[in-house]
Amino acid sequence: MTGSRPGREDPPEKNQVDGTPLLSVQRMTVSYDGTPAVSDVSLDVTPGEIVAIVGESGSGKTTVIRAVLGLLPSSGQVSSGDIRYEGRSLLDLDQAQWLDLRRHRMSMVFQDTGAMLNPVRRIGAQFVEYIRTAEPDVTRAQARERAEAMLERMALPDPRRVMDSYAFELSGGMRQRVGIAMAMTFQPALLLADEPTSALDVTMQAQIVRQMLALRRQEGTAIMIVTHNLGVAAHMADTIMVMRAGHVLELGPTDQIIDHPTHEYTASLLASMPSL
Amino acid sequence: MDARWLARRLGQILVVLVGISFITFVLVWLAPGDPAQAMYTSQGITPTPEMVEEMRARLGLDKPFLTQYVTWLGNCLHGNFGTSYSLNKPVTDLMLARLWPTIKLALASLVLMLLVAVPLGMAAAVRQGSVIDHLARGFSFLGVSMPNFWFGLLLIWAVALKLGLLPVVSTGKGLDQLIMPAVTLAFAMIGRYTRQVRTAVLEELNQDYVIGARARGMSERTILWRHVLPNAQLPLLTLLGLSLGSLLGGTAVVEVVFSYPGLGNMAVSAVTSYDYPLVQTYVLWIALIYMVINLLVDISYARLDPRVRRGARS
Ligand SMILES: Nc1ncnc2c1ncn2[C@@H]1O[C@H](COP(=O)(O)OP(=O)(O)O)[C@@H](O)[C@H]1O
Ligand SMILES: [Mg+2]
């Protein structure tokens, strides 16, 4: 429709100028043990664009996002189609290229960052390890400083204490902010987020969403966010992709999807939409 | 996990030790066979009834039960565990002479085992179904199914007799004497622990934090050594404690095969010669090491797992 809905921010200028996709998923099919779980998915993400993937549980959202990061479980495989990122196919990257990509160009925030961190090592140690793996020349002290600065940017009170904590000692909201802080350290061109706010209460959800929007504004980071909260999607995204049973049901500008859903399914999702 | 906790644990150990001392004393008291008689017999003497009576009086065996126990316990607390009936020497000296070789053998075999089992188990887990996994499996099977004494004899035959690399009979003093018994003990444990390490590592590789580490661009080697191993060692700690305990109790069969002067060897002959003071002291030692190791395992868990140390439910 005309005009953006209140609360949603306009994407940064440069997006509207630069139309070449950062990420291009082309007719991708992903199979687990030969059985397709996600079929014929096509999707472009331009620099700085926010794309929300919505759909019921089991519809294939996580599969899409993990395929992009090359982190499907060993039984999973992109069985046809292509994923192109910054102009090259991700399907024929070797291990070293994948490591480089994940260290510098693309990062991921999970639903529960706590579970994605080693339970017996301190947050700080793992943050420093991450920074020094990506940039081996950085000293431990420098890495620590940088990590604390990132945590501070995520509005985490007392970053020192967070660094000295173990994942289980932080609240869900704090853990998610740690996850985003780590994921944003190297200003990747693309941030993948798989239900980053699902485990949080409404206030915390809003805060995390605000922080991701700020990142896009400041760094021009493109974000691909999986959420089953259409409120979050409507608030954040420029583009919404609706999935059901491994297929893309609808894909289009947020306003269009929200105001004129072409599918009954999307309409029913909208009807049960929680407000943010 | 603080000083009070430690004091309570040490107190518990003391109470249990006293309890066990009482039980062993009762059992020995009830057991058939007269130690005074046994003492002469073991020295090749056939005593007259008068000689037996006199010996019984000297050993305090004619006193009431409780008096005997209290006397014995008081002596124990002063480091005097009595005189061995069969060897006619202070039990304390006999135990101490066997203790150091036993500890050496236990630690050597445990370290040797870890040096092989940890890398092998990890390799088998990382490359499931590969040649190395099958080799590890075969090796484990051999280690578990081959009796200790047989492997020991094979080792003596090959290394000492055929190759002449090491002495056949050990004295427990030098490193050469330690090698073969340690290898024999390690061999059996390697089989079990390789499987355990493999299982634990596989379990950890399935955890979400591994995916998290991959997503952060960690190399597989970093993930394995810095993330998976520190977690995988936790379920193995208890097991290691049990192994250490049984090794420190002495390993009779292997000690006999290699004529190694360890505790196991001594315990067996103490039992067969009704050497009650020696048996009692040995039982107390076993109880002590198991409880101390148990305590050490708990302390290690607290040190290695912040969820235990900082009191979270995992
Ligand atoms: N490791 C796996 N092995 C086999 N099937 C899987 C695996 N992971 C997901 N699937 C299947 O793929 C489909 C999509 O799952 P998923 O991508 O997790 O959906 P969503 O994130 O939308 O809930 C589901 O039918 C699920 O059962
Ligand atoms: Mg999912």
Asked if residues B105 and B185 have their Cβ atoms less than 8 Å apart, the reply is yes
Flag whether B314 is in a domain: no
Q: Does a structural domain hold residue B177?
A: yes
What average pLDDT does this structure show over B68-87?
Answer: 86
Residue whose tokens read 């947020």? A254
CB atoms within 10 A of CB B246: 17
By alpha-carbon position, which residue is closest to atom 7 of ligand 1? Answer: A32
My answer on whether B222 and B285 are in the same domain is yes
- Domain-embedded: residue A257: yes
Q: Which one of B73, B92, B111 terminates a domain?
A: B92
The burial of A83, by beta-carbon neighbours within 10 Å (0-12 exposed, 13-18 middle, 19 or more buried), is given as: buried
Write the pLDDT tens digit of every residue in A248-259.
999 999 999 988
What is the value of pTM for the model shown? 0.84
Distance CA A40, CA A270 (A): 24
Query: Is residue A3 scored above 60 in pLDDT?
Result: no
Same domain for B61 and B171?
A: no
Residue A128 makes CB contacts below 8 A (sequence gap 6+) with: A140, A143, A144, A147
User: How confident is the model at residue A13, as a pLDDT?
Assistant: 44
Range with the poorest average pLDDT among A29-33, A42-46, B152-156, B211-215: B152-156
Model pLDDT, residue B41: 76
A170 falls within a domain = no
Q: Which of A120, A133, A168 is best to mutate for the B interface (most B CBs within 10 A)?
A: A120
Question: Among the listed ranges A27-36, A186-195, B36-45, B268-277, which one has the minimum average pLDDT value?
Answer: B36-45
pLDDT more than 90, % of chain A: 69
Q: Is the CB of A58 under 6 A from ligand 1?
A: yes
Closest CA to A257 of A247, A245, A243, A246: A243
Taking the alpha carbons of A102, A105, A108, A113 in that order, is the dihedral positive or negative?
positive
In angstroms, the CA B154 to CA B150 distance is 6
Supply A36's token pair.
């397709």
Q: Are residue B113 and residue B189 in the same domain, yes or no?
A: yes
pLDDT of A266 reads 83
| Whether residue B48 is found in the same domain as residue B33 | yes
Residue B62 located in a structural domain: yes
3-state secondary structure B27-59: HHHHCCCCHHHHHHHHCCCCCCHHHHHHHHHHH
Could you tell me if B181 and B152 are in contact, meaning their C-beta atoms sit under 8 angstroms apart? yes
Residue A66: inside a domain: yes
pLDDT at B156: 83
Residue recorded with tokens 């994605």: A116
Least confident of A66-70, A199-203, B219-223: A199-203
- Inter-chain CB proximity B226 and A108 less than 8 Å: no
Give the count of domains, chain B.
2
Share of chain B above pLDDT 70, in %: 96
Cα(A77) to ligand 1 centroid in Å equals 12
Structure tokens at B117: 């089992």
CA distance B208 to A116: 5
Give B83's strand partners.
B90
The residue type of B102 is T
Query: Does some domain include residue A167?
Result: no
Q: Is residue B240 part of a domain?
A: yes
What's the whole-number mean pLDDT along residues A220-246?
92
B92, B126, B160 — which closes off a domain? B92
Query: For position A268, what pLDDT does the model report?
Result: 82
Distance from CA of B234 to the nearest CA of A (A): 10
Q: What is the pLDDT of residue B2?
A: 76
Identify the CATH number of the domain in which residue A90 sits: 3.40.50.300
- State whether the Cα torsion B299-B305-B308-B314 is positive or negative: negative
Structurally, chain A folds into a number of domains equal to 1
Residue A1: pLDDT band (50, 70, 90) is very low
Asked whether residue B272 carries a pLDDT value surpassing 70, the answer given is yes
Per-residue pLDDT for A213 more than 80? yes
Tell me the pLDDT band of A6, cut-offs 50, 70 and 90: very low
Q: What is the pLDDT of residues A73-107, one digit of tens each?
A: 989 999 999 999 998 999 999 999 999 999 999 99
Which of A48-57, A101-110, B68-77 is predicted with the least confidence, judged by mean pLDDT? B68-77
pLDDT band at B34 (very low <50, low <70, confident <90, very high): confident
CA-angle at B67, arms to B61 and B69, nearest 5°: 80
Tell me the residues of A at the B interface, defined by beta carbons under 8 Å apart: 69, 71, 95, 99-104, 107-108, 110, 112-113, 115-122, 129-130, 133-134, 166, 168-169, 182
* Beta carbon of A61 within 6 Å of any ligand 1 atom: yes
Q: What is the CATH number of the domain that holds B114?
A: 1.10.3720.10
Residue A141 lies in a domain: no
In this structure, the answer to whether residues B35 and B165 fall within a common structural domain is no
**Average pLDDT of the segment spanning B189-218:** 95
pLDDT tens sequence across B228-252: 999 999 999 999 999 999 999 888 8
Whole-angstrom distance, CA of residue B297 vs CA of residue B287 = 15
Considering the domain boundaries, does residue A59 fall inside one?
Answer: yes
Residues with Cβ within 8 Å of B224's Cβ and at least 6 positions away in sequence, in order, are B122, B126, B201
Residues B66 and B100 reside in one and the same domain: no
Nearest Cα neighbor of B91 from B79, B82, B99, B101 is B82
User: What is the average per-residue pLDDT within B41-56?
Assistant: 82
CA gap A61, A243 in Å, rounded: 7
Provide ipTM, 2 decimals: 0.89
pLDDT tens for A135-154 read 999 999 999 999 999 999 88
Residue A140 lies in a domain: no
**Host domain of residue B280:** 96-309
Residue that finishes a domain, picked among B54, B74, B92 = B92
Q: How many helices (H) and strands (E) does chain B have?
A: 15, 0
In sequence order, what E strands does chain A have? 23-32, 35-45, 50-54, 76-85, 88-89, 106-109, 190-194, 222-226, 239-244, 247-253
pLDDT score at B313: 43
Is B214 within 8 Å of chain A by CB? yes
User: Could you tell me if residue A155 is inside a domain?
Assistant: no
Q: Which pLDDT band holds residue B52 (cuts at 50, 70, 90)?
A: confident
Residue B293 scores a pLDDT above 50: yes
A7, pLDDT greater than 50? no
Question: What's the domain range around A199?
Answer: 23-115+188-271
Average pLDDT, chain A: 89
